[in-house]
Amino acid sequence: MQYAPVLPVVIPLFAAALLAALSKLLPQRVALGLSLLATAATTAASTFLLRASLSNTVVYWFGGWSAHGGKTLGISFAIDPIGAGLAAFAGLLTFLSLLFSAKYFDAADNYFYALTLAFLAGMSGFTLTGDMFNLFVFFELMSAAAFGLCGLKTEDPSSLQGSVNFAVTNTIGAYLVLTGIALLYARTSALNMAQMGQTLARTPADKLVMAAFAFIVCGYLVKAAVVPFHFWLADAHAVAPTPICVLFSGVMVEMGLYAVARIYWTVFDPSLHPFLPHLRILFVAVGVATMVVGGIECYSQRNIKRLLAFSTISHMGLMTVGVGLFNVAGLAGTAIYTLGHGLVKGSLFLGSGILLHRTKTVDESELHGRGRRMKWAGIVFFLGAAGLAGIFPSGLSMGDDLIHESAKQIGVEWLKWVSFFAAGITAAAVFRVAVRVFLGWGSPASHQRGAAPKEKEKPETESGHDRTPVWMWAPAVAMVLGGLLIGFAPGLKPGTLRAASRFEDANTYAARVLQGTPVHSSAPEEEKTQEPWVGLFILAAAAIISLANVKSKGFRESVKPLIAPLRALHRLHSGHVGDYVAFLTFGLAAFGLVCIFTFR
C-alpha cells in the first residue's frame, strides 16, 4: 500500500478523464455506475488513510523527492486524521448525492459525472497535501469543477448569473491566495508548509508576514463564505443543481476554513503565536457577524434553496468562531460540527430537491400545503429542523458543546448565546417551511413582506412527478438520521480531540514531515459531558416562533418595524457581481489593516 496516499486523488481524476473522453459513447446508466464505483473506491481509500493516520501522520513524497536536512524540493502529502476524515466525508457526501441524482435529472449529461469526480479529486487533494502551492492548485481544481457544475443547468437564466458571481468572486479569492504565497515564498524560499513554518519562526513576524497572512486567509475565507465575503454563496446555491448544493454546503465551504486552520497551525503559528489574542478577537468578530447576518437573511427568504444557503452561512459563522478560538476544543468542535452540519444540511437540500422534482418549484408560498402527500420529504424537513437546532445527540450539538467549552477556556462565554440565536433562527426558518409546505398551516398568501422578489426556478427535471423514487428519499433520510445520531458514534469525541491537538502542534508536524520523527499522540483530557436539553429548548423556541409567524396575525404586526432594516440588508445582496467584489475588497483591506496595525 505504498501508493495509498495518492489514491483519493488519482481514482476520481482518472475516472473523470475516462468519463469525459467517453461521454458521447457511454449510456447514462453506465456513466452513473462508473462514477458511483469510483466514488466508493475513493471514500474507501480516504477511510483507509484515516485509519492509518490515527497513530501517525502519513507523509508521502512524490517521486521520492523527500526532505534532506530540513530542506525540501519535492511535493509532499502529509495526512493526518482531520484531513483524511474530511476527504472521506467529501467522498461519502458525493456518493449520496450521486445516488440521489440517479433519478433526478431527466436528461443528465455525462459531463455532470465527470465534473463531480473532478470536484471530488480536488477536494481530496486539498485535504491531504502538505505543500502550500499544491494546496492552491487543488483549490483551483476544486473551484473550476464547482463553477462548471454550478453553470451546468444552462437552460435557466438565473443559473448563469449565480455561476458568474460564484466564479468571479472565488477566482479573485484564489488570486489573493497566490499573492500571499508569493510574498511568503519571498521570505522563506520554501513551499512546503512545515519548512515555511520553521523558517518563519526564526525571525519575529514583520509587516510582510502580516500582509501575506491577510492575503492568504482572506482568499480562503472567500471560499468559506464569511461576512463580508459571503454574497456569492446564496446565489450559487439558489441556482446550482440540488445534488451539487449538498456538496457545496456540506464540504466545499468548510474546505475554506480547513485551509485557514491548516495554514495557521503549520505555517504561521510559530511566528504569529504572540498575536493570538488579537487574532481571536478578529475571528470571533467575523464569525459573530456571519452568524447574525446569515441567520436573519435565512429567516426572511422564500426560496427554500436560498434559505438553506443562508442557513449554511450562519452555521459557517459558528465554525469560523470554532477555528478562530485557536485551541484544541474549538477545532475538534468545528470538525464534529462539520460532520453533523454536512449531513443535516445535505438532507435538507435533498428534501428541497424532492420538492423541485415533484412540484417544479422551491418557492415556499407556491408550495403551501402541496407537500401533504410527500411524507419522506416532510420527515426530512422536520428532522432537519431538529438537527439544525442542535438536539442531542446530533453532530451539531456535540460540536456546539465543544465550541462553547473552548469559548469558556478563552473567557468569552457569551458566545454561546449568539450560537443559540443562530441555531434557533435557522431551525425556525426550516420549521416554518415544514409546517407550511407539508402540513399546510397558515394562509397561502401570508408570505412575508420584504422577502426576496419572486424568482422562477426552472426545474432541473422536465415535468412534475407523481411519486418520489426510493433513490431520492433513501439518501435524504439516511443523511438526516446519520446527522442526528452521529453523536452516538463510539470514540468520535476523544478521537477528534486527539486529532485536533495533533493538528495544532506545529513543531511535531514539522519534525514528522522534515525529519520523519514519529508522532507521539497524547490523549487530551476528556471534556465534560454535554447538556442534552439545550437543543430541545432551542427547538421548542424555534417551533414557537415559526408557528407564531404562520398562525398569528398579531405576531406579524408586531415585527413590522423590523422590515425596514431588513430591506436595507436585502438590498446589499443585490446579485450584482461588482458589488460583491467591492465588499470583498473592503473586507480584505479591513482585515489587512487590522493585521498590520494592531499586531505589534
**What residues make contact with other proteins under the rule CB under 8 A?**
133, 137, 140-141, 143-144, 147-148, 151, 154, 157-158, 160-165, 167-168, 171-172, 175, 178-179, 181-183, 185-186, 189, 191, 234-235, 238-239, 300-301, 451-453, 455-456, 570, 573-579, 581-582, 585
Min. distance of Cβ 58 from other proteins in angstroms? 25
Min. distance of Cβ 598 from other proteins in angstroms? 22
C-beta closer to other proteins: residue 47 or 352: 352
Min. distance of Cβ 170 from other proteins in angstroms? 9
C-beta closer to other proteins: residue 33 or 450: 450
Instruction: Determine contact, residues 318/345, Cβ cutoff 8 Å.
Output: no
Rg (CA), the chain: 23
Please, is 164 exposed, middle or buried when counting C-beta atoms within 10 Å of its C-beta (0-12, 13-18, 19+)?
A: middle
Largest Cα span, the chain: 73
Min. distance of Cβ 235 from other proteins in angstroms? 5
Min. distance of Cβ 581 from other proteins in angstroms? 5
Alpha-helical regions (H) of 201-240:
207-224, 231-239
- CB < 8 Å & 24+ apart, contacts of 135-142: 135/193, 135/259, 135/262, 135/263, 136/174, 136/177, 136/178, 136/181, 139/174, 139/177, 139/220, 139/223, 139/255, 139/259, 140/174, 142/252, 142/255
Instruction: Determine contact, residues 84/49, Cβ cutoff 8 Å.
Output: yes
C-beta closer to other proteins: residue 180 or 330: 180
C-beta closer to other proteins: residue 131 or 254: 131
Nearest to 362 by CA among 464, 441, 442: 464
Residue 275, amino acid:
F
3-state secondary structure at position 69: coil
Place of cell 437564466: 157
Q: What SS3 string covers 298-332?
A: HHCCCEHHHHHHHHHHHHHHHHHHHHHCCCHHHHH
Min. distance of Cβ 236 from other proteins in angstroms? 10
C-beta closer to other proteins: residue 168 or 489: 168
C-beta closer to other proteins: residue 241 or 322: 241
Min. distance of Cβ 499 from other proteins in angstroms? 31
C-beta closer to other proteins: residue 189 or 522: 189
C-beta closer to other proteins: residue 215 or 392: 215
Min. distance of Cβ 14 from other proteins in angstroms? 19
Min. distance of Cβ 178 from other proteins in angstroms? 5
Place of cell 463580508: 228
Place of cell 407556491: 366
Please list the residues that pair with 71 across neighbouring strands. Answer: 68
Sequence-distant (≥ 6) Cβ neighbours of residue 375 within 8 angstroms: none
C-beta closer to other proteins: residue 5 or 162: 162
